Amino acid sequence: MIQLEQVSKVFALEAGPFTALKPADIHIGKGEFIAIMGPSGSGKSTLLQLIGGLDLPSGGTVAVDGVRLNELNEKERTLFRRTKVGFVFQNYQLLPMMTVAENVGLAMAANKASKADIRARVRELLQDVRLEDKEHHFPSQLSGGQQQRVAIARALAMKPGLLLADEPTGNLDRSNGESILQLLSRLNKEERITVVMVTHDPHAAAAADRIITIRDGQVVRDERDGGERT
């Protein structure tokens, strides 16, 4: 599903080059639930952005479903993100002037799906995330946990095979956070969606089947093989 070969990322800053991610080889199979752990500034969000095609690596190759993202132009990468990847962020990123249903159906509308198809898909997704009674509510009328559920439903609108979640429980209390983790786990197991979640919280990471730890831009541990990497 996801193949990273000697992938690195270096940012050019005024003070000089900053290495956010040192060369790494990572393989993530279809249907896995992966947690990427590490302290703030360790490079975990950079890695997620590279997997999702939001940024390009300074070195190495990133391939998703056999597609090398390095070889795509900006238009092709945008299409890839819209159709192949769902994104979930810590701060939800819902549009406040739109209802729950409108937020969830936004990507489908942008891809010119019919109103009937959008309506049917939105209702299906809201049932999946247990928010079918909130269809006409606005984000401001929802709790943080409910807003994150809407964000997850929106991320799944185009039926992506890959869901990337950046600190999805970071703004939630333990109860709401646990609910989101259970939802991600259920989607992973029942829908066979590959989930890659960035977190600094060991409790959240424990929901995943495999934990990759990053420190100072370097992958130092992969729980699947249980050993330290140098």
Asked whether residue 183 is assigned to any structural domain, the reply reads yes
Which pLDDT score is estimated for 120? 96
Distance CA 22, CA 119 (A): 45
Distance CA 192, CA 3 (A): 18
Asked whether residue 228 is assigned to any structural domain, the reply reads no
Asked whether residue 229 is assigned to any structural domain, the reply reads no
pLDDT in tens, 57-115: 999 999 999 999 999 999 999 999 988 999 999 899 999 999 999 999 998 998 889 99
In the chain, how many domains are there?
1
Distance CA 182, CA 114 (A): 32
pLDDT in tens, 151-201: 999 999 999 999 999 999 999 999 999 999 999 999 999 999 999 999 999
Asked whether residue 79 is assigned to any structural domain, the reply reads yes
| CATH number of the domain enclosing 187 | 3.40.50.300
Distance CA 11, CA 180 (A): 33
What is the amino acid identity at position 204?
Answer: A
Residue 168's domain comprises 2-223
| Per-residue pLDDT at 225 exceeds 80 | no
Longest Cα–Cα distance in the chain: 54
pLDDT in tens, 191-202: 999 999 999 999
More confident residue, 76 or 227: 76
Asked whether residue 115 is assigned to any structural domain, the reply reads yes
What global pTM score does this model have?
Answer: 0.91
